[in-house]
């Protein structure tokens, strides 16, 4: 059994043959949820619209409560996160580059597997992050493309520092 509880709310919007969440479930790394009510109330919930970024200060919550990702088409993000407002502790991922074959090289458009791995890495679960991406041919490429930012984010103290580091990687000044 995987040492960190990983959940995916699967909304059945993508091609199941290309779905990284289903492949992670097949390998026993994640539990697939099909109903919003199944989401653990205190888990870290990945939300691209969250006000706080994932940071090392989330490590304790992740080890006790787990991480929830939402597997939905980027084209259909819509209001799903409004429906999830009262579920979990919402966190956004900082700037990272996708390595999956569908969105290779695109900033911030990560697959579910990449999002979970990035969250694990930033929170200090680096070996677990590498393990879940090891089942994908392109998994190691994600770490090659993002090693410098992932390391910097994992050394930040909190969400604010992660966001400051993100602005350094984007190449724009941090708004004060």
* Sign of CA pseudo-dihedral 106, 107, 109, 112: positive
The three-state secondary structure class of 4 is: coil
Q: What is the pLDDT of residues 100-148, one digit of tens each?
A: 999 999 999 999 999 999 999 999 999 999 999 999 999 999 999 999 9
The DSSP secondary-structure symbol of 48 reads T
What pLDDT is attached to residue 18? 77
Q: Tokens representing 37?
A: 């009510």
CA distance 78 to 70: 12
pTM of the model: 0.93
CA distance 114 to 139: 8
Contact by Cβ (8 Å): 23, 57: no
What are the residue ranges spanned by the domains of the chain? 6-170
Q: Tokens representing 20?
A: 């990284």
Tell me which residues of the chain have a pLDDT lower than 70.
Answer: 1, 13-16, 73-78, 80-83, 174-176
Contact by Cβ (8 Å): 91, 158: no
Burial of 134 (0-12, 13-18, 19+ CB in 10 A): exposed
């Amino acid at each position: 059994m995987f040492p960190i509880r990983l959940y995916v709310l699967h909304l059945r919007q993508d091609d199941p043959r290309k779905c990284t969440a289903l492949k992670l479930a097949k390998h026993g790394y994640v539990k697939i949820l099909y109903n919003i009510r199944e989401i653990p109330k205190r888990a870290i919930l990945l939300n691209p619209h969250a006000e706080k970024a994932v940071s090392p200060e989330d490590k304790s919550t992740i080890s006790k409560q787990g991480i929830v990702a939402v597997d939905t088409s980027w084209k259909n993000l819509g209001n799903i996160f409004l429906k999830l407002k009262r579920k979990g502790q919402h966190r956004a991922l900082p700037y990272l580059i996708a390595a999956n074959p569908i969105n290779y090289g695109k900033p911030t458009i990560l697959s579910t597997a990449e999002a979970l791995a990035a969250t694990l890495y930033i929170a200090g679960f680096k070996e677990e992050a590498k393990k879940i991406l090891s089942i994908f041919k392109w998994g190691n490429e994600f770490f090659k493309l993002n090693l410098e930012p992932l390391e910097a984010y994992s050394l930040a103290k909190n969400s604010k520092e992660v966001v400051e580091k993100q602005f350094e990687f984007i190449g724009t000044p941090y708004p004060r």
